[in-house]
Structure 1
Amino acid sequence: MTREVKWGLCATVKASAKDILRFAAFHLSAGAHRVHIFLDAPNPDAFAHLKAHPKCRVTLCDDTYWRRRGGKPPVKHQVRQSRNATHCYQRASDLDWLIHMDVDEFLIAEKPLWQHLSQLPVTCLTARIRPMEALAQLQPTGETMAFKRFVPNGPDRLSTVKALYPTYGQYVRGGFLSHVAGKLLVRTGRNDIEVRIHNIFQSDTMNPAEAALTDVTLAHVHAATWDTWRAAYDYRHIKGAYRADLAPAESGGVTLHDFLAQLVQSRGDSGLRHFFDEVCADTPDHRARLQAHDLLAEHRLDLDAHVNQHFPDFTGG
């Protein structure tokens, strides 16, 4: 009989208590043996509920925490994420596999994740899960969500994306506003492992013995609604998914950072809204375009139901 593989996740988060507990509860229901949450800002409500759950571990990353880790908090949040994830990996002796994720990402599989992991060869050290990106609802309903599937890299990717998004396709890599790289599970108990956001290094080797978990998907709710996307836009444009140092979607083309800056300068929020409506909004036309290319997926996350199951005393809105 196959032994149940123990997997867990870690995340460095700065979000509402509701979103943090939704993220944790969803993955507890998915079979996570351990959920490690590093709070990038104080959140007493989330801390209390996570602390009380036997499968959760919560750490407040305040100045005292970083001093114990050897200095001041790293300026870039990506560096804080990587350092926390590596620290967590080094202490994950109760897990067979660990994945670093963000609070708006959810692992989707038709059968328990441990069964997928148990089928990997013992020589496999890293397993990649590709994303699908949620369409933004104009009004949140809590019902089944629509997602755009991952478009594999290859000679037809750009033409497919331009067909989906005739105005803006040349600026969005794979048709996604955020990453197309996905996230990696890494087998625990290895030496010299450094966890990055989308990759793993063992000494100087990137993603050693990597496999693809093609039957598991990373559902990324990068933009839940226009309001939440607009509220996060300025930060993402400077420091996050649309920052200046990321490569353009098309070789030699304009980066998404520069294009969006030009769009805001010339058309303001109306320009951003036009971009959002074509590339991200959940509309019948958008769904039809995705369906025509077999790139439409639907899934019900049931986040509040999972919170009620695992954190029944939480009453926050």
Structure 2
Amino acid sequence: MRWGLVATVRASTGAVLDFVAHHVELGAHRIYVYLDEPDPATFALLKAHPKVRVTTCDDAYWAKHPRRPKKHQVRQSANATHAYRRAEVDWLAHIDVDEFLCPQTPLTDQLAALPDTAGCARLYPAEALAGDGTAFKLTKRFPRERAASAERLYPVHGKYLNGGFLSHVEGKLFARTGLCDVMFRIHNLFEGDIKNPGEAALDDTVLCHCHAQNWEAFMASYRFRLERGSYRADLAPMRKDRVDGLTLHQLLMSIEQRDGAQGLRAFYDELCADTPDHRQRLDEQGLLFLCDLQLERSRRKQFSTY
């Protein structure tokens, strides 16, 4: 039972190598990396690794497609679909460079145990706290429970946020290869007109999302995410059940306009601070997840020259 990953990346060489090395150490048979812009140094290191298939998404690459999509989310989906049609694995997951699988039992066994009717399997996320990289928070599966827990955990801003997460709660998908007319999206896939055919859940694998592991990382990505990423204005309110529901864009802009950087820091600390009190409150709700990814160790083993 061979599995692999596909990711479209625009990140530092170290971050890309961490992503690849971690998943090779977990047993990935193949990792398809699409460099969103030319990066010769990263390309050379990845090209030399036998488990990696690396593609530079330059003008020559996009000339073979109808056009280069303006939105990076659309480019990600197009590249994932491109990899799926050439995949040398039985199962292929489309995730991001800041997401890391953390299986509690061997992933090959989990995939092998899925019913033949499962065309895809969902990975549910945990979002990193701002600490030593070992603490993550989970969220409830069902919307009503998720809303209630977020409001208990985060009395100031929890009522506006989906599960108290800064990023997605939907998770990502493994797709069984060999299906016809498959099109990947960010959180879903289609087989023709069928959305997520035979979807199952990989309950024993957590998708550890290092969305903003510290205040500096949060601010470094803040403007981009507001304008074009996961905080952008055209996304729906995170709490659709509330008549006063705000989009994350509206919430962040209102905080910034009212209280500036100090207000944004208070918002970040409420949601992401890695403190004993925060860990205890998460643990009491069964939402604390501990996982030492040991990224540096894996990178040194897989890429000893970097």
- TM-score tier, shorter chain, comes to over 0.9
Distance 1:49 1:225 in 2: 28
Q: Structure 2 matches for 1:77-88, cutoff 5 A?
A: 77-88=72-83
Q: Could you report, residue by residue, the CA deviation over 1:250-300 in whole angstroms, capped at 9, with x for unpaired residues?
A: 223111110111111111111100000001121222212212212111110
- 2:43 counterpart (44, 47, 50): 47
8 Å contact from structure 2 (residues 73, 186) kept in 1: yes
Q: In structure 1, what is the equivalent of residue 28 of structure 2? A: 32
Distance 2:264 2:151 in 1: 18
TM-score norm. by structure 2 comes to 0.96
Distance 2:144 2:5 in 1: 34
- 1:90 counterpart (78, 85, 91): 85
How far residue 109 of structure 1 moved from its aligned partner, in angstroms, is 0.8
Q: In structure 1, what is the equivalent of residue 207 of structure 2? A: 218
Q: How many residues align?
A: 303
- 1:165 counterpart (154, 161, 165): 154
Q: Could you report, residue by residue, the CA deviation over 1:230-255 in whole angstroms, capped at 9, with x for unpaired residues?
A: 11011111211111222223223111
> Structure 1 residue 290 and structure 2 residue 285: aligned?
no
- 1:179 counterpart (168, 176, 180): 168
Name the SS of the counterpart of 1:277 in structure 2: helix
8 Å contact from structure 1 (residues 41, 61) kept in 2: yes
Q: In structure 2, what is the equivalent of residue 101 of structure 1? A: 95
> Structure 1 residue 61 and structure 2 residue 53: aligned?
no
> Structure 1 residue 22 and structure 2 residue 14: aligned?
no
> Structure 1 residue 7 and structure 2 residue 3: aligned?
yes
Q: Could you report, residue by residue, the CA deviation over 1:100-119 in whole angstroms, capped at 9, with x for unpaired residues?
A: 01000001112221110000
Distance 1:150 1:48 in 2: 39
Residue type matched to 1:105 in 2? E
8 Å contact from structure 2 (residues 139, 146) kept in 1: no
8 Å contact from structure 1 (residues 174, 249) kept in 2: no
Q: Give ranges in structure 1 of 5+ residues lacking alignment.
A: none
Distance 1:133 1:262 in 2: 24
Distance 1:53 1:16 in 2: 18
TM-score norm. by structure 1 comes to 0.93
Distance 2:85 2:252 in 1: 39
Residue type matched to 1:244 in 2? A
Q: Structure 2 matches for 1:276-287, cutoff 5 A?
A: 276-287=268-279
Distance 2:235 2:277 in 1: 29
CA RMSD of aligned residues (A): 1.1
Distance 1:163 1:53 in 2: 47
Distance 2:144 2:172 in 1: 23
- 2:118 counterpart (124, 143, 148): 124
Distance 1:180 1:154 in 2: 10
8 Å contact from structure 2 (residues 8, 34) kept in 1: yes
Residue type matched to 2:169 in 1? V
Q: Give ranges in structure 2 of 5+ residues lacking alignment.
A: none
How far residue 154 of structure 1 moved from its aligned partner, in angstroms, is 3.6
Distance 1:46 1:183 in 2: 25
Q: In structure 1, what is the equivalent of residue 198 of structure 2? A: 209
Percent identity over paired residues: 51
8 Å contact from structure 1 (residues 10, 99) kept in 2: yes
Q: In structure 2, what is the equivalent of residue 194 of structure 1? A: 183
How far residue 153 of structure 1 moved from its aligned partner, in angstroms, is 1.6
How far residue 307 of structure 1 moved from its aligned partner, in angstroms, is 0.7
Name the SS of the counterpart of 1:155 in structure 2: helix
8 Å contact from structure 2 (residues 22, 295) kept in 1: yes
Distance 2:210 2:172 in 1: 14
Distance 2:236 2:64 in 1: 36
Name the SS of the counterpart of 2:8 in structure 1: strand
Residue type matched to 2:166 in 1? L
Greater CA drift, 226-235 or 251-260? 251-260
8 Å contact from structure 1 (residues 100, 184) kept in 2: yes
How far residue 167 of structure 1 moved from its aligned partner, in angstroms, is 0.2
Q: Could you report, residue by residue, the CA deviation over 1:166-211 in whole angstroms, capped at 9, with x for unpaired residues?
A: 0000121111100001000000011110000000101111001110
